[in-house]
Structure 1
């Protein structure tokens, strides 16, 4: 019983600490957090698979609220239930609260400081890079065929070239469902996820399957 309690406290502390370190990257919004979340959760901690984190981000982006906080909720709940979700939210929001609180206090003294303005411009550039990385990694798991590529191009064109409200682009989900049904009725092949690339070890053991 005591060992289980210690293990429970340990995983909750890990969840809090992981998202506490990610929290300051919220300067660029939720999508700037995605590369950091992926590195910590998938690569370092092995809490989730790459395919799972990609699907999670898509769901988090569709749900109300910030995508970073939503992702933290889902990951925390995945690891430790409701308590894990609470610790993840606390961890990811606490640094932001502290930073904004301190900035509001010292804003009067630094608002005309050229060095502070230059530092913020540098942060903006780094945030753009983080968002681009997040978009690239999402595209790798989401762009499955010509149909999904066409939907992305159409949605991007609508957002850039028209004054349409961004939320209406969510209708692309309905378009995707409709196109899948049409393909099924026509007897065409429907691809719902990418086939993982074989590792070098697999190719050495079963080379005939990868020629």
Structure 2
């Protein structure tokens, strides 16, 4: 299979099964990172950071970035198209039948079950990102090394930005920019 066909198939599967939006694609992207040499898990976190700080949906931005990294401009297009196509197909089908079946108990039960499943997938993705961003799991060898497990500057930055967001509710770009500036200052 050519790289473009592989990109299309992998991102089509991701788009088909990652119900719940961009962060729900992360478990699938981790699987792709483990399966192919296109990008690794560390690069995936960089992709997520870039995708979060650029306009557009995170899943699409990440697919474009990953596809571009794997196969250039055409790879970015193919991966993005593969990710988006299942949603388009499903929405067209749903639009045709939802009005007719919107009060159906089975349809209502499906949506009732999908909500917690999607929430769980997003929580798992959040945990995966938080683990890499705020913990040094590679340093943890037991309880004696517990202090080395935590990335204290990252945890402090998270706590401050979270507090500021809850208190002031500014646009997310303010907090993303604040995190970027803090990262520069902490690493210089």
Shorter-chain TM-score category? 0.7 to 0.9
Match of 2:173 in 1: 167
What do residues 15-37 of structure 1 show as CA deviations (whole Å, max 9, x unaligned)? 00000011124531111111111
| Residue 148 (structure 1) shift | 1.0
**With structure 1 as the length reference, what TM-score do the two structures score?**
0.75
Retained in 2: the 8 A contact 1:26–1:96? Answer: no
> 1:86 offset after TM fit, Å?
1.0
Structure 1: 5+ residue stretches without partners: 1-8, 182-211
Alignment of 1:1-211 (within 5 A): 10-39=2-31, 41-143=32-134, 145-170=151-176, 171-181=178-188
- Structure 1 pair 158/121, CA: closer, same or farther in 2 (3 Å)? farther
Q: Quick one: distance in 2 between partners of 1:139 and 1:73?
A: 23
Moved over 4 A (4+): none
1:106/1:37 CA distance change after superposition, 3 Å: same
Aligned residues: CA RMSD: 1.7
Q: TM-score, normalised by structure 2?
A: 0.84
Which of the pair has more CA radius of gyration? 1
Unpaired runs of at least 5, structure 2: 136-150
